[in-house]
Amino acid sequence: MAISPTTIVIFGASGDLTSRKLIPSLYRMDRKGRLPENIRIIGVARSPFDDDSFRLKMADAIKSLSADDWNEEAWNKFAPRLGYARGDASTDGGLENLQNQLETIENGLPGNRLYYLSVAPQLYPEITKNLGKLGMASSVDGSASNPGWRRLIIEKPFGHDLSTAKSLNRVIRTHFHEDQIYRIDHYLGKETVQNLLVFRFANTLFEPLWNSNYIDHVQITVAETVTIGNRADYYDNAGILRDMFQNHLLQLLCLVAMEAPARYAADPLRNEKTKVLDAMPVFSVEEARQRIATGRYQGYLNERGVKPNSQTPTFAAVEFSIDNWRWRGVPFYLRSGKGMALRSSEVVIQFRCPPHLMFPMPPGSSIQCNRLAICIQPDEGIHLNFITKEPDRDGTVLVPSDMEFHYRNAYANVKIPEAYERLLQDALNGDASLFMRSDEIERSWELIEPFLLATEDSHAKIPEDYHIGTMGTAGADSLLAKNGRSWISMGLAKKPKD
């Protein structure tokens, strides 16, 4: 029997994401032998490409990303899989070219199709409706092994707030079933983010300590050195809370805080994440105001495309809590910003201090209590910080020391793959574990909304200025200082001296 073909259809093929992430990831997957033999990839956009000029553009993109990645032979094998179907997918008749190409590829067989919406978010509803209207959304159950599936990957942002996210969910679910929908949060595709689960649930060492009895607080930092570049159109309307907190940071928090699912499968995993979000209180706007500090890098207002009276924050620090048995009373401090001192994403678990120290210490001195840092990027690894005795000193001198694990040493010959490789692979395999379910998305918006109001309503403070190349604002420091805590940047401590 002929094997059903699989086609990945990328809407928004002339966009940045396609050339910087999607096609390079598919090309690398092909080099690793991870794409099905009979797969085709069709780009759809309004730009006047044909197959050849589209391939050329993609080849140039891969070469410019990394010369190491380029391999003529691999490209020549991959390129024939790539095609282009010009059209405006959000209009009537805009899918005609694509339909013709799919017909030729599938040649009467029940083909599998993975649609990827890499377009401006306002086009999501129209494209989904068109796919539905033309009968391109429903899976056709081709045979026992089930070829003929249709899946839809949707990029972030998923909505602008709770009500837009809900209505987007409604529109999409009119045409696709929940189990056909793959909402991307690319952070979940990062190796080290998945390693968080492995670290917690494939080891016994830390899990007994992973609760309010032993943990004082948790910090999650996603710092970027980049500024908004040429993304003002999007960013000035979104800001740091929509861009990073509603999705990436809350997802990290869920992985740190969730209970162990019984099985590594989409629903058990997503159920546990949703339980964490459910246990987080939705604050009033006034409470939210007390729990957030925002900032804006100096020069933001001069960025091209930013509104002159913009109040959009490019940095925020937020204190969340989780009201359940495990976490009650343990603050989760999240911060993220653009234009910061270093690119570093890390989770820091600050353990409680020993209840009593028997060692003679100078009056007023204290020790650095145990902490564990899980570094997500760029120096992927795990650091466990504990106290040691400095040898050959007068008396007992206590100093913090690090036990370190670095991916770059442990897996010296392995290049950490791009998150999109993993996510595309999973979507092809029908595994939605690392994608977000509609209830998760809606609850995340519910939790973020008071903070949006607190920073956007008429009482909102203008975000505090910070210099590019620093780690944020004094307000963010005060948020922790009021409880005698301070931000920890393991990444910063390890930043090589320039």
The site for ligand BG6 (CB under 6 A) is made up of 156, 224, 243
Strand 112-117 vs strand 82-86: parallel, antiparallel, or unpaired? unpaired
Distance CA 169, CA 162 (A): 11
Place of tokens 């060692």: 359
Residue nearest to ligand BG6 (CB): 243
Q: How far is the CB of 264 from ligand BG6 (least distance, A)?
A: 23
**For residues 51-70, b (16+ Cβ closer than 10 Å) or e, as one string?**
beebbebbbebbeeeeeeee
User: Any residues with CB less than 8 A from the CB of 104 and at least 6 apart, and which?
Assistant: none
Q: How far is the CB of 224 from ligand BG6 (least distance, A)?
A: 5
Residue 331 corresponds to which amino acid?
P
Name the CA radius of gyration of the chain, rounded: 24
Helix (H), strand (E) at residue 6: strand 6-11
Q: How far is the CB of 231 from ligand BG6 (least distance, A)?
A: 7
Judged by beta carbon, residue 27 or residue 158, the one nearer ligand BG6 is 158
Q: How far is the CB of 184 from ligand BG6 (least distance, A)?
A: 9
Q: What is the 3-state secondary structure (H, E, C) of 184-242?
A: CCHHHHCHHHHHHHHHHHCCCCCHHHCCCCCEEEEEEEEECCCCCCCCHHHHHHHHHHH
Write phi, then psi, for 291 (nearest 5 degrees).
-110, 10
Distance CA 221, CA 240 (A): 13
Q: How far is the CB of 86 from ligand BG6 (least distance, A)?
A: 27
- DSSP track, 24-71: HHHHHHHHTT-S-TTEEEEEEESS---HHHHHHHHHHHHHHH-GGG--
Distance CA 187, CA 238 (A): 18
Q: 248 catalytic, yes or no? A: yes
Judged by beta carbon, residue 155 or residue 442, the one nearer ligand BG6 is 155
Q: How far is the CB of 419 from ligand BG6 (least distance, A)?
A: 7
Catalytic residue, candidates 248, 356, 383, 459: 248
Judged by beta carbon, residue 28 or residue 156, the one nearer ligand BG6 is 156
Judged by beta carbon, residue 250 or residue 322, the one nearer ligand BG6 is 250
Distance CA 210, CA 178 (A): 33
Distance CA 285, CA 240 (A): 18
Judged by beta carbon, residue 187 or residue 351, the one nearer ligand BG6 is 187
Could you tell me if 212 and 327 are in contact, meaning their C-beta atoms sit under 8 angstroms apart? yes
Judged by beta carbon, residue 85 or residue 340, the one nearer ligand BG6 is 340
Q: How far is the CB of 203 from ligand BG6 (least distance, A)?
A: 26
Judged by beta carbon, residue 326 or residue 494, the one nearer ligand BG6 is 494
Instruction: Copy the structure tokens of residue 454.
Output: 């607190």
Task: Tell me which residues are annotated as active site.
Answer: 248
